[in-house]
């Protein structure tokens, strides 16, 4: 399974309805699980981004989940593929000398 880190910002609509954000997160978790995506962590943050979430699943399932949540209009996101130290070590071992 692939790991992704997603940086989330509220849209104007999302911040107007910020009191619903934890309910929206619960709904997102259920929708994502239905697609085979595991929401590993979700943090509300202060600074450049409003939330940081980590997800595990197939590339297609995570893309589908992020397209669905974005289409609702409450958030915009930047999603980054993440690699563990062991995954990076394996990739580096494949590099030609």
pLDDT digits (tens, 9 = 90+) for 45-64: 999 999 999 999 999 999 99
**Residue range of the domain that includes 33:** 2-93
CATH code: domain of residue 31:
3.30.70.920
What was the pLDDT predicted at 10?
A: 98
Q: How many domains does the structure of the chain reveal?
A: 1
| Prediction pTM value | 0.92
**Residue 75 pLDDT more than 90?**
yes
- In total, the chain counts a number of residues equal to 97
CB 32 within 8 A of CB 55: yes
Residues 1-23: tens digit of each pLDDT: 999 999 999 999 999 999 999 99
Distance CA 44, CA 84 (A): 23
- Tokens read off for 77: 């996101």
Cα gap 55→58, rounded to integer Å? 10
pLDDT confidence of residue 97: 85
Residue where the block lists tokens 């992020």: 66
35 contact partners, CB below 8 Å, separation of at least 6: 57, 61, 64, 65
């Amino acid at each position: 399974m692939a790991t992704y880190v997603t940086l989330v910002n509220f849209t104007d609509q999302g911040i107007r309805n910020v009191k619903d954000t934890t309910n929206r997160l619960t709904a997102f978790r259920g929708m994502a699980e239905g697609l085979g995506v595991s929401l590993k962590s979700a943090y509300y943050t202060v600074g450049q981004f409003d939330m940081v979430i980590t997800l595990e699943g197939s590339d297609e399932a995570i893309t589908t989940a992020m397209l669905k949540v974005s289409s609702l209009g409450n958030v915009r996101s930047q999603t980054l593929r993440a690699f563990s130290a062991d995954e990076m070590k394996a990739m580096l071992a494949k590099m030609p000398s």
